[in-house]
Amino acid sequence: MQDNQLSKEEISQLTEADWKERLSADEYHVMREKGTERPFTGVYNDATDDGVYRCKGCGASLFDSSSKFDASCGWPSFDQGIDNSAIEEHVDNSLGMTRTEVTCSNCGAHLGHVFPDGPRETTGMRYCINSVSIDLDKSEK
């Protein structure tokens, strides 16, 4: 665990009021209320810098920049998580469709959704992630 990552115990102590204080209104809406940022507006949509993308809520390492690709969908896209335990997937039946939601396995923050239309030469998956849910740690490369 990184020094700046909250532990499960620290996370369990946070109330919704604490989350509202820690996060901006947009971050709170996406990460705690399962919202979505508008496409092509996120700071990481076109980012190409090396590093590790961390959860904005708790600091957990989620995605390596080497797994990022341009899906031209309007959100940062990755073909895999940093390891099998970094993210969790859940059935999402909202908006009249069935999708797979992606959350941070450490704090439960909503990150986005995963679709089976990513690069076939890698995993074939596209983790479509809201920029407001992540921070790029360039010191990790």
Q: Please, what are the domains in the chain?
A: 8-140 (2.170.150.20)
pLDDT of residue 1: 41
* β-bridge mates for residue 125, sequence order: none
Burial letters 92-130, b for 16+ CB under 10 A, else e: eeeeeeebebbbbbbbebbbbbbbeebeeeebebbbbbb
Which tokens go with 63?
């995605």
- 73 catalytic? Reply is no
pLDDT of residue 69: 96
Catalytic residue among 6, 52, 128, 132: 128
3-state secondary structure of 133: helix
pLDDT of residue 141: 57
pTM of the full structure: 0.91
Binding residues: 55, 58, 104, 107
Q: What is the DSSP string of 14-71?
A: --HHHHHHHS-HHHHHHHHH---PPTT-STTSS----SEEEETTT--EEEEGGGEE--
Sheet hosting strand 134-137, strand order edge to edge: 61-64, 52-55, 134-137
pLDDT of residue 107: 96
Q: What is the 3-state secondary structure (H, E, C) of 60-79?
A: CEEEEHHHEECCCCCCCEEC
Please report, in tens digits, the pLDDT of each residue of the chain (141 residues total).
455 789 989 999 999 999 999 999 999 999 999 999 999 999 999 999 999 999 999 999 999 999 999 999 999 999 999 987 899 999 999 888 899 999 999 999 999 999 999 998 889 999 999 999 999 999 865
Binding residues for Zn(2+): 55, 58, 104, 107
DSSP designation for 141: -
